[in-house]
Structure 1
Amino acid sequence: MKPYLIAEPALRRLELTITRRLDGLLQGEHLGLLPGPGTEPAETRPYQAGDDVRRMDWNVTARTNEPHVRDLVADRELEIWALLDATASMDFGTAAMEKRELALSALAAVGFLTQRTGNRIGTHMLHGGGVRTLPARTGRPHLMALLQAAFGLPRTPPGVAEPLLGVAAEQLGRVVRRRGLMVVVSDFLDAPETWELPLRKLTARHQVLAVEVLDPRELALPNVGILTLIDPETGRRREVATSSARLRRRYAEAAAGQRDAIAQAMRRAGATHLRLRTDRDWVRDLVKHVMRQRRLAALAATPVFPGRPAAPGTGRPPEGGDVA
């Protein structure tokens, strides 16, 4: 059967799941997956120290004899680029789905929830054959064609050399000229020093959401006796005795250290970090992420009144305080 005939029903089911459970979350003032300023004018408010004087609203300032600035909301038309990791390490999963399927679901969620407002979306797909780029365009037909192309990417045989995530991120930075949202979906198993700097370069110009996908077996080994492990990217095999409590403990410690190093590298690069797991409800985790980012954006936009100390960690005045 042709690949697109297999992909179409699966993508339609995925679209139905996403639109039923997530529809409306990324609408409204278009805050979207990440908080941040835009260019469309919104309401005015009194000037505060540190505000950009270029946003001064001189008409309101003249009427009130008090300096006012005009806040901004995000552009209605956004250019979104996704860097999708479909290398051999993503062809792994021991729970509800493989990491590759979870990555495709995350890409579909971003696409379905933003394409209806006229946003353009393009992809950089990293796989065994190299990097394939699909240009950013609008409309559902383009999005479905993009997802079908991602769905039909061939699996990489073990031992085939693949490009690094950092190299693909550098290429993406050179291709994309217009500022927008970058979504990097990967397991980030390459050494952090190979992708941290390219990711930092992306965050210098764009908003960047790093979606880390992982499987529970990457965090802990089960006690199943002798287990043959195969590195999907090199083809190397190794047998381990999982009955050893010491081995399982060392594996868990090493895995936790690896994930901590990944999180720290993302933090240093300035990217927003979203972790999705194959054994969890990824839709619920995405909802929690969106709502958390919106709360952070709302707190960042809340003014602090003169003479009234902010509540710790909020940037807002404490309840019941008086204005001096």
Structure 2
Amino acid sequence: MIPKEIFQKIRRIQIRSSHQVDELLAGSWNSAFRGRGIEFEEVRPYQIGDDVRSIDWNVTARSDQPFVKLFREEREMSVILLVDMSRSVEFGTVSQTKRELIAELGATIAMSATRNNDKIGLTLFTDEIEKAIPPRKGSRHVLRIIRELLYCQPVGTGTSIRNAVEHLNRTCKRRSVVFLVSDFFDSGFESVLKVARRRHDIVPITVSDPGERALPKVGLVRLRDSETGEQVLVDTSSRKNRKQFSELFARKEEQRLTMFRRLQMEPIQLTTGEDIVDPLRRYFHAREQR
């Protein structure tokens, strides 16, 4: 039985996300992901009027006559939320934490998928797989996803995107749209992500907080790594220290964007305290144009 106060919070985020779906995503969902729900069915001999781009050259070479590939459109699409629940997403210096932002985002995506009769699944990870919910339909299923995003108590503290993507590769055999949501405070996962994108349509979504980009000038502070527990004393009154802090974040961000470009992925970048609608709108409209 869900406690009343928890149910009320779930209900609030459901209502807020519902408005965002009405405002933004429902009309663009199918257009943005058009052509992803296509599966190969069979080959048949070429007929006059067939598109030459559909010729299967391997079969044609073996049979000495042209054959074309036939495809069928799937009636539904599977969407997977692959979500980082490590300790670092509990951080927030404005009106919300990164985890609260992730919950709002996940609810919006889940409701968009459900309204378009698509299945939605959820995998939560830290440095291990915390929970995996298979793709299903229905409003009750969406409520479960929102509840897990808000109130799952992870066992792990660190981040292993490699483990999460390897789990996806093992368990998700059907081509899916995968929203990989994380602050990406991790490395060494590019090779498995490259393998996964051959089968799935992977959309990276990075979440950050303004406090990670710049140090406030407040004198001596003790900073603690939320995932490792390591602590360091920093003099924030030093302009040099503040500059080095900002440059380090900018350098890591640029390295991450360079990696996504190599993988031909276009990330969505979200920041706590800011509306998620505009970044999503820009991304969806860009996909529609393509």
- Higher relative helix content: 2
CA drift of 1:181 comes to 0.4
- Does residue 105 of structure 2 align to residue 106 of structure 1? yes
Identical aligned residues as a percent? 26
Change beyond 3 A, Cα 1:73–1:229? farther
Alignment partner, residue 205 of structure 1: 199
Say what the alpha-carbon RMSD is for the aligned residues: 2.9
Unmatched runs of 5 consecutive residues or more in structure 2: 40-48, 57-70
CA distance in 1, matches of 2:252, 2:29: 37
Who wins on radius of gyration, i.e. which is larger?
1
* Conservation of the 8 A alpha-carbon contact between 1:131 and 1:168: no
The correspondence for 1:266, drawn from 240, 250, 260, is 260
**Alignment CA distance shift 1:161-1:109 (3 Å):** closer
Distance 1:28 1:212, change over 3 A: closer
Question: 8 Å contact 2:126–2:157 — kept in the other structure?
Answer: no
Paired amino acid for 2:139: R
Go from structure 1 to structure 2 and tell me whether the alpha carbon gap of 1:283 and 1:233 turns closer, same or farther (over 3 Å shift).
same
Residue in structure 2 matching 1:236, options 227, 230, 235:
230
Q: Give distance in 1, aligned partners of 2:128 and 2:204.
A: 23
Aligned equivalents of 1:150, 1:229: Cα separation in 2: 27
Deviations for 1:170-195, whole angstroms, at most 9, x for unmatched residues? 1111100111101111000102xx22
Find the counterpart in structure 2 of residue 294 from structure 1.
288
1:275 is matched with 269
Q: Which secondary structure state, in structure 1, belongs to the residue aligned with residue 26 of structure 2?
A: coil
Task: Give me the TM-score of the superposition, normalised by structure 2.
Answer: 0.83
Question: In the TM superposition, what whole-angstrom CA distance separates every residue of 1:222-274 from its partner, at most 9, and x where no partner exists?
Answer: 11111110111111111100111111111111110100111111222233310
Whichever residue aligns with residue 202 of structure 1, its letter is A
Number of residues paired by the alignment?
269
CA spacing shift, 1:35–1:248, aligned 2, 3 Å: farther
User: Following TM superposition, by how much is the alpha carbon of 1:290 offset from its aligned partner in structure 2, in angstroms?
Assistant: 1.5
1:257 and 2:259 matched: no
Conservation of the 8 A alpha-carbon contact between 1:94 and 1:217? yes
Which residue in 1 is equivalent to 2:54?
A: 52
Residue equivalent to 1:318: none
Distance 1:73 1:264, change over 3 A: farther
Structure 2 CA distance for aligned equivalents of residues 80 and 148 of structure 1: 18
Residue number in structure 2 paired with 1:181: 177
Structure-1-length-normalised TM-score: 0.75
1:164 aligns with 2:164: no
Bigger mean CA offset, 100-109 vs 205-214: 100-109
Aligned partner of residue 136 in structure 1, secondary structure: strand
The separation in 2 between residues aligned to 1:29 and 1:249, in whole angstroms, is 41
